[in-house]
Structure 1
């Protein structure tokens, strides 16, 4: 139990709680717009940026963040070019991200162990700089969603109606994608690139089963994510488990219980 009072664990808990706010906030919009796979895509691109950061000696998360934001612009450009095939843009950018990551892995053999920690998460290694970055992204995401909540709601359910009503649809689409890039680039050190999409989608999947309104689904998704982060980190710390994997598996267990409870209630 001493681990729970250690400085590194307190930093991990703080970082986890912050991502537990931003990931489901963005995730609920992605899930409802059927863009869930964008999380995996931007995570792979971010890993390429992290690998380049280690190669060049630049703060890896900063380089990963730049890569993710550039990729988000590219995704929006491709979505416009292939309007009827929105998922194609995601597949193309993911392929590019994987290719770049493989290339940088080959060039930086000595840094591969460091990069691998970003694949599976290394929340216990969060430092003060990491927390400042995650905190800044959290503030930005919360402010943007608060200011544009009604517009994003309409865009999510009726994009054509949003366009007809005069809303800046292109700007809002880009804004959502860029915020997704910011969240993912800061979350990969916490849960890892291979698991980050779970934090975006599973809380939203749970909340959509039990919420009676869109606002409720947003609130419930954040609460579910925070519960998973706190319990998952405590369990991982006490029993020496992989924290990122523990959080994700706990989220899956919560989804299964929600499905069972929903089925029983409906019956």
Structure 2
């Protein structure tokens, strides 16, 4: 079966479109999160997404409805992480751990009360982008446009706090507002990505393209561009490879990102000038 024939399938077209949009979104946001040392927020919010999905499935809501139910839960949880770091004087990883534990425990209780882990819940846990619907593609496209618009509007402020939050505050940037924008955008991306790579692997899509780009980039904008390129390419290649080999798409996407990171690391080591003894 050649590539042209594969592209003739509607579910492949939907997967490629939605997957590329979501991967680019996560990769770009991941650069800011890695520089802010908040990369694990994706993992914490993914656990909250599990709780939100369990709520939706317990109410007999499926597909795009489950995504819409999870969205407000994850958005509020992202703000909860931010408030815990500000009001309770907790470090970012501690706040993420608290919210993550709450989300996963609530999800387990709701899943058990709803009759256990059914096929629908497992598809959200491990990802199943080939089953994405036209409605979910539409939601992904709208949210992609919203997030990219907000990123472009707040780009300079996000850049400033990514490198030095104290200096940004002294310079007059409303750091509390910008931090809220960052975590809310991350929450949107996490909810979108749960169908792409699954709740269990979301953090890899936020982290791996960003850290790969940081190995090679010479400027911040080139870092963002490289991360977006890797994220998009990993999804396209992952979908084709999984279709050809009959292996899980989500795991293939993550493995390709790991391979890209290893390649970027080796290239940086080769290009790095050797210190004279």
Superposition TM-score tier, normalisation by shorter sequence:
over 0.9
Structure 2: distance between partners of 1:84 and 1:214: 29
Q: Structure 1 stretches of 5 or more lacking a match?
A: none
**Distance in structure 2 (CA, Å) of the matches to 1:248 and 1:77:** 31
Superposed counterparts of 1:82-231, under 5 Å: 82-83=88-89, 85-109=91-115, 112-231=118-237
Alpha-carbon separation, structure 1, partners of 2:35 and 2:134: 34
User: Given the alignment, which residue of 248, 255, 260 partners 2:261?
Assistant: 255
Structure 2 equivalent of residue 55 of structure 1:
58
Residue in structure 2 matched with residue 42 of structure 1 by the alignment? 45
Is residue 4 from structure 1 mapped to residue 4 from structure 2 by the alignment? no
Structure 1 segments (4+ residues) deviating >3 Å: none
**Cα shift readout 1:48-100 (whole Å, capped 9, x = no counterpart):** 11111011133111111111101011011101024462211101000001111
Could you tell me how far 1:160 is from its partner in structure 2? 0.9
The whole-number CA distance in structure 2 between the counterparts of 1:29 and 1:138 is 17
1:148, distance to aligned residue in structure 2 (A): 1.0
SS of the equivalent of 1:189 reads: coil
Higher mean C-alpha deviation, range 82-91 or range 50-59: 82-91
Deviations 1:138-180 (A, max 9, x none): 1011101111111110011111111112211111101100110
> Secondary structure of 2:21's match?
helix
Q: Matched residues in 2 for 1:22 and 1:223: separation? A: 11
Pick from 236, 246, 263: which aligns with 2:252?
246
Cα deviation, 1:101-148, whole Å, max 9, x if unaligned, reads 101110112662211100110101111110111111110111011111
CA RMSD between the two structures: 1.2
Task: Say yes or no: does 1:80 pair with 2:83.
Answer: no
Q: Which structure shows the higher helix fraction?
A: 1
User: The residue matched to 1:109 in structure 2 has which SS?
Assistant: coil
Matched with 2:18 is 15
- CA distance in structure 2 between the aligned counterparts of 1:33 and 1:160, rounded to whole angstroms: 12
Maintained 8 Å contact 2:58/2:111: no
TM-score, normalising length from structure 2? 0.93
Unaligned runs of 5+ in 2: none
Pairing partner for 1:66 from 65, 72, 87: 72
In structure 2, how many angstroms separate the alpha carbons of the residues matched to 1:63 and 1:70? Answer: 12
